[in-house]
Every structure is written in structure tokens, then in C-alpha cells.
Amino acid sequence: MTDRRPLLRAIFDAAVAAAHPNSILAPHLPKPPRGRIICLAAGKGAAAMAVAAERHYLDDLKIDPALLSGLATTRHGYGLPTRRIEIIEAGHPVPDEAGLKGADRSLVLAQSAGPDDLVLVLLTGGGSANWIAPVEGVSFAQKQQVNKSLLRSGAPIGEMNTVRKHLSRIKGGRLARAAMPAHVVTLAISDVPHDDPATIASGPTVPDTTTLADARAIVERYKLPVDDAVRRALDDDRNESCKLGDGAFANASFGLIARPKDSLYAAVAVARKAGYDVLDLGADLEGEARDVATAHAKLALKARAEGRRLAIISGGELTVTVRGTGRGGPNQEYVLALVGLLADTTGISILAGDTDGADGGAGAPTDPAGALADQRTFAKMRELNLDPRATLDNNDATAFFAATGDLLNTGPTLTNVNDVRVILVDP
């Protein structure tokens, strides 16, 4: 059977390239103001966005370097050399002290802006964990524990961010409020289903429609173990996020420069060029990884039975409800579930990966982006006497694919437009 792994990787790489700040940011950057440009960036692509902004303003427009300053807070291992915009590498998915420092300093820089200044906010996925600024009465450790509980709960990203923004001094529009009376321009790479600006990095510069009551309901729905200080904070009206009509947004604008659907279009184009019919399931899929895998396995088996040469491609952000003691992420769980459902089925090859280069993991730049599977996986699984279903029950997908040699390791990609999942069916 023809090895489809190079094609799977080419499809994934095309999706990543379509959203890289190096090629997409410059056309969206605003003209220089009369005063300073204060660049504040957060997320896994923050450093790459800072570098692209520096190149545009310093090299292309040749502004006085003294007029450009700022701070970009990104994931550990995702930093790049810069000239005027400082880089802080911080924890993700679990926040750390560096993220606390990055958020505090970003707020101070925003508050220093005057009416002639531009506060340029550059956001990518991961910004919610990178910018950590607990509200009064909640300690850093308590906020960290809330984040860990949310990650294990299986809650979708929108609900996670509803809780986060009501426990934050920077999220939920508060950064825009801090920057008044400066002009605030936010440019974002979306990593969330349906591209909701209030969900990307928990919406630090846009109005928020969720409420403290919503956050409390989420805590109860998922039975999150939170301290009394957190419960008090979610009962405190002073921690309500900024709403539409707030003066913070009178001089603020927001623009998307890349969306998951743009990356999915690029992936679909590569599959079609390779001669596959494409079933595009869209860029906004949500749900438990193993449940989505079950539905996709049925699609793949139907196509195989019909003798179709089909690429099943989807994006979005799946979730995992952690019940075991292993390690993995939603993309690895998705592939592992498919391995259990399709074991020894010929003609099917699978890749699922997070476009940021990290799927679950321990927060290190060497974390896997996802996993692949095909006939080689099934053979190795039998050779090593591995049980995919038992491993899935223990949420230990990383160990399974490390043993079979099927982890997808990309390293930091410096962008983030959610997940890309590809199933290739060959007659």
C-alpha cells in the first residue's frame, strides 16, 4: 500500500502556513499614529506577530525606532529574537509566574498610553493562559487551580473562557479599558469555533456578553473544585466584564487576520490536488474527541465500502474529559479512538494535529502536536500487544503513540488556528 504519511503531513502543513503571521499580518497593520505605537501581544503566535510588526514599521515604513515599544507574552519555547518589542515566555496550558508578570506589565504599558498613541494588540490562541491577572482577593495559585480544573473538565473553550474572564483584570474588555484614551487596534488569529472575538484569548479588548452568573453556572455544571475566594469573586459585581456601550470601546477596533476556515480551505486544496474527493466537515467542530472519532469512523468505513477515494477533513476544537492518569490531548485521543474502531482496516490513513504544534502535553516546546495512524500502526500495536481501548480509558494516548512511533512532532509553529483532522480513504 502507498505510504500516505507524506501527503497527510503536506495537508497539515498547508493549513499551518495559511495562518502564519510572517505572511498575513502586514497588510492589516494600521498606519502609524501621531504618537507612539505600544504593541501588546499574547498567545502562541505572539512573538511571530511582534517580529512581523517590527519588520513592517521599522523596515518597510522606517518609523523612528524610539516610537515603537511593547511586550509579547508567548508560550515557553515560542519566543523569537526581536528589536523593540520585548518577549516573555510563559506557561501554557497551565499559567505560571511569567504569565503573571507579562499581564501586569502589559496593563501598565496600556495605562501609559496617551490620546495620540496607538495600542496595537496582537492576539493568537493561548493568550488566555499566557495573560494571567487574577482579580482582587484571588491568589495566583487559586487562579492556576481553576485553570487546571477547567482543562480536565471537558468544558468547551467558550465556557472555559467565560470563567477565566470573570476572574481576570485583563480579559473581558479590561485591557481596552486600561488603554483609554488611546486608540486601540486589535488584530487576531482565531483559534475558536465560529471566530467569536470575545472568546479569542478571552476577549481582552472587546465587549463581553457573558456574565458572572454564567461563570457561576459553569463552575456548578462541571462541579469544579474551587476555593471559597474564587466563589466570592464570582459573586462580586465589581468583577463583571465590560459590556457593549462601555466607554472602553469608543476608540477601539477589532479585526481577524486568519480564521480556521481559511486554513481548512488550504488543506482541502492539497487533498484535491492529490486526487481525492473531499468531505469537508467544517472548521467549527466541537465535542468529546472519542465521540467525534466514532462518527468519523462510520464515514470512513462507508466510503471504503463504496470504493471511494475520499479525504475527510475537519477543524474545530475537540475536548477531553479526563478520567484516567495518562497523558495526551484531544487530537491524540481522536486518533487513538479511531485506531480502536478501525484496527486492521486497510486503506485508511489518519492524522490529527493542533496547528500550534502542541496537543495537550506538559507545556514544553517538545510536546507532540497530535498523532498519525495507518497499517503500520496496527502492525506495531499487535507486535507490542497494545490495547487501544484500555489506553483510551486511561487517557494515555501519548504513551500509546510513543510506543508505536506515531506521534506528530512539529515543534512550535508560531500560530494557532485550532485542530486539523484528516482521514484518507483509498479503495
Residues 86 and 210 in one domain: yes
Residues 224 and 269 in one domain: no
- Dist CA 50 CA 53 (whole Å): 5
Q: Name all contacts of 378-387 with Cβ < 8 Å and 24+ positions apart.
A: 378/339, 378/343, 378/344, 380/404, 380/405, 380/406, 381/339, 381/343
pLDDT tens profile 74-121: 999 999 999 999 999 999 988 999 999 999 999 999 999 999 999 999
Domain ranges, residue 277? 5-13+261-425
Question: Cell numbers at residue 227, please?
Answer: 476555593
Residues 47 and 66 in one domain: yes
pTM of the model: 0.92
- Residue 25 falls inside a structural domain: no
pLDDT tens profile 183-235: 999 999 999 889 999 999 999 999 999 999 999 999 999 999 999 999 999 99
pLDDT at 138: 97
Residues 306 and 221 in one domain: no
Beta bridge partners of 194: none
- Dist CA 85 CA 50 (whole Å): 7
Q: How confident is the model at residue 66 (pLDDT cuts 50, 70, 90)?
A: very high
Residues 237 and 253 in one domain: yes
Q: What is the CATH number of the domain that holds 335?
A: 3.40.1480.10
Out of 227, 258, 289, a domain closes at 258
Kindly list the distances between the CA atom of residue 340 and the CA atoms of 289, 292, 361, 397, in Å, as whole numbers in the listed order.
13, 13, 22, 12
- Residue 128 falls inside a structural domain: yes
Residues 250 and 269 in one domain: no
Average pLDDT on 316-342 reads: 95
Residues 213 and 290 in one domain: no
Number of separate domains in the chain: 2
**C-alpha 406: how far from chain center:** 22
- Dist CA 304 CA 293 (whole Å): 16
Residues 296 and 366 in one domain: yes
Average pLDDT on 334-360 reads: 96
* Confidence check: pLDDT of 258 > 90: yes
- Dist CA 219 CA 226 (whole Å): 8
pLDDT at 211: 97
Residues 80 and 181 in one domain: yes
Residues 312 and 197 in one domain: no
pLDDT at 157: 86
Q: How many other C-beta atoms can be found within 10 angstroms of the C-beta atom of residue 102?
A: 30
Question: Cell numbers at residue 265, please?
Answer: 480551505
pLDDT tens profile 124-161: 999 999 999 999 999 999 999 998 999 889 899 889 99
- Residue 87 falls inside a structural domain: yes
- Residue 72 falls inside a structural domain: yes
